[in-house]
Structure 1
Amino acid sequence: MPDSDNKPERLQKVLAQAGISSRRHAEKLILGGHVTVNGEKIVTLGSKVNPHDQIAVNGKFIKKSHELHYYILNKPVGVITSASDPRGRKTVLDLFGDAPARLFPVGRLDYDTSGLLVLTNDGNLAFRLTHPRYGVNKTYQVWLPGPVSEKAVTQLKEGVELEDGKTAPALVKRLKPAMKGGLELLEITIHEGRNRQIRRMCEAAGYPVAKLKRVRFGPLVLDAGLKPGEYRKLNDREVRLLKQEVGLL
């Protein structure tokens, strides 16, 4: 809820802070007519509410005070980054058997990608971490059929033309050369968040991805001892660094 007892806040922000959903999904709930304030349906984004207002989602009043939780997960391959799946596939939330609150993944890792994923019920932080304006860096280890040409590396660094426009410049490092026609390991850092962006960039450069793992998200680095499917709470310092990253502190 708002920091000040008397300060009005945008409705979608209050919903996110109450752990109802991410801020973007909260906007969809409002536009879809699922939210009422003091019994009146609100369908306009940007509407502000006061602390004493009674807010309901699908007829159920929200709790305005709650404890915030922050986790880091080593997402395994074969799990989708979603709260639920109509096809019955395992989701990242299925890995949390003892979650103390309703958590939401921050951003996405596709089905075949593993690595660092943040989950939280802090909708305001999640919104900023995924919004393009804040440009949070994401670093991946990328295995490609080698050897990868210098031309392709330069192309990845300078930006790749995709169907939805040219990508921003990326940081690219060679970590391990290909042995006897095997896979070469690169490290690629981007700040955009387009769908399947690393895979699409490498394919456009002529090198389909064989394996992809995210190892860094903003100030967070994937724990060496955190096995696929395992998770842990973020400590106070890590939460503070995340908030500093997007201007919340």
Structure 2
Amino acid sequence: MERLQKVIARAGIASRRKAEELIKEGRVKVNGKIITELGVKVTASDRVEVNEIPIEREESVYFLLYKPRGVISSVSDDKGRKVVTDFFAGLKERIFPIGRLDYDTSGLLLLTNDGEFANLLMHPRSEVEKVYVAKVKGVPLKENLRKLEKGIRLEDGKTAPAKVKMLSFDKKKETAIIEISIHEGRNRQVRRMFEAIGHDVLKLKRERYGFLTLNGLKAGEARELTPHEVKQLRAAAMETGKK
């Protein structure tokens, strides 16, 4: 048996916290009976409805995608542009991306139908490290890179300390390749951090998410996470959330 809010979250309807609100508001039924108390547990045979609509119980699935540039991190786009779920044609489960990568950013993106898992990884307290490689315009000075390491003030607040490493630079072309590791997930964060020190990002790729890498994948390819990898990610997010 599982708690009702967890079943709703796993179905991708809402986060567990939002599911709890739906229950308290009387918008959830189990076997035709309105449930308003938290803590109710259900079995796989119970009929659960949210806003009079039966939820579909799906097995939880977890995927790692090598997102190409020019793809939207969404399940649909009103402009008809390619979205990340287009790479999973034929998959019966309704998956969605965990967080996002910008349209012009490539690299490692996780997708799932487990709302609770996604919410755990995206929670501000979760400090799962994300490693990016950026090609920037100009060659940043060491003191400017140190500003990123200490945390730099953006319009939505100061960033957490980052790990920064200059991989290479080309004085003739006036470009540099820099590795940067962060654990936050603000909108266009890496690009805005480099802009804040006067260097526009020309190309950006997420190379790593926690211990996960793109090894063995080409752009547009995906693989399913192993149960052990899912367990490791969950444990890492919960551990950092306790700090």
Q: TM-score range by the shorter chain?
A: 0.7 to 0.9
Are the equivalent residues in 1 in contact too, given 2:166–2:178 (CA < 8 A)? yes
Q: 1:130 aligns with which of 98, 122, 129?
A: 122
Unmatched 5+ residue regions in structure 2?
none
| Cα distance between partner residues in 2 of 1:227 and 1:34 | 47
Q: 1:23 aligns with which of 15, 19, 39?
A: 15
Q: Describe the superposition over 1:191-242 as per-residue Cα deviations: whole angstroms up to 9, x where unpaired.
A: 111111111111011111111100111121122x311111111123322321
- Note closer, same or farther for the CA distance 1:28–1:84 as it changes in structure 2 (3 Å cut): farther
Deviation of the 1:28 alpha carbon: 11
Report what 1:244 is aligned to.
Answer: 235
- Note closer, same or farther for the CA distance 1:114–1:29 as it changes in structure 2 (3 Å cut): farther
Q: Describe the superposition over 1:82-139 as per-residue Cα deviations: whole angstroms up to 9, x where unpaired.
A: 1111222211001111324111111110111110001111222111111111211111
Name the amino acid aligned to 2:195.
Answer: E
After superposing the two structures, state which structure 1 stretch, 95-104 or 206-215, moved more: 95-104
3-state SS, counterpart of residue 108 of structure 1: coil
3-state SS, counterpart of residue 198 of structure 1: helix
| Cα distance between partner residues in 1 of 2:26 and 2:71 | 29
Q: 1:60 aligns with which of 53, 66, 86?
A: 53
| Cα distance between partner residues in 2 of 1:41 and 1:149 | 62
| Cα distance between partner residues in 2 of 1:25 and 1:113 | 31
- Note closer, same or farther for the CA distance 1:192–1:240 as it changes in structure 2 (3 Å cut): same
Name the amino acid aligned to 2:225.
Answer: L
Q: 1:226 aligns with which of 208, 214, 217?
A: 217
Report what 2:105 is aligned to.
Answer: 113
- Note closer, same or farther for the CA distance 1:122–1:152 as it changes in structure 2 (3 Å cut): same
Name the amino acid aligned to 1:231.
Answer: A
| Cα distance between partner residues in 2 of 1:23 and 1:146 | 42
Report what 1:6 is aligned to.
Answer: none
After superposing the two structures, state which structure 1 stretch, 53-62 or 154-163, moved more: 53-62
Report what 1:197 is aligned to.
Answer: 189
Name the amino acid aligned to 2:81.
Answer: R
Aligned residues: 235
Q: Describe the superposition over 1:2-38 as per-residue Cα deviations: whole angstroms up to 9, x where unpaired.
A: 2xxxxxx362x32122x2345279559949x894224
- TM-score, normalised relative to structure 2: 0.85
Are the equivalent residues in 2 in contact too, given 1:21–1:121 (CA < 8 A)? no
Are the equivalent residues in 2 in contact too, given 1:35–1:55 (CA < 8 A)? no
3-state SS, counterpart of residue 244 of structure 1: helix
Are the equivalent residues in 1 in contact too, given 2:160–2:184 (CA < 8 A)? yes
Q: Identity of paired residues, percent? A: 46
- TM-score, normalised relative to structure 1: 0.84
Pair 1:184-2:176 in alignment: yes
| Cα distance between partner residues in 1 of 2:26 and 2:102 | 29
| Cα distance between partner residues in 2 of 1:91 and 1:34 | 35
Pair 1:167-2:133 in alignment: no
3-state SS, counterpart of residue 166 of structure 2: strand
Are the equivalent residues in 1 in contact too, given 2:27–2:50 (CA < 8 A)? yes
Deviation of the 1:156 alpha carbon: 0.8
Unmatched 5+ residue regions in structure 1?
3-8
Are the equivalent residues in 2 in contact too, given 1:78–1:112 (CA < 8 A)? yes
Name the amino acid aligned to 2:8.
Answer: L
3-state SS, counterpart of residue 238 of structure 2: coil
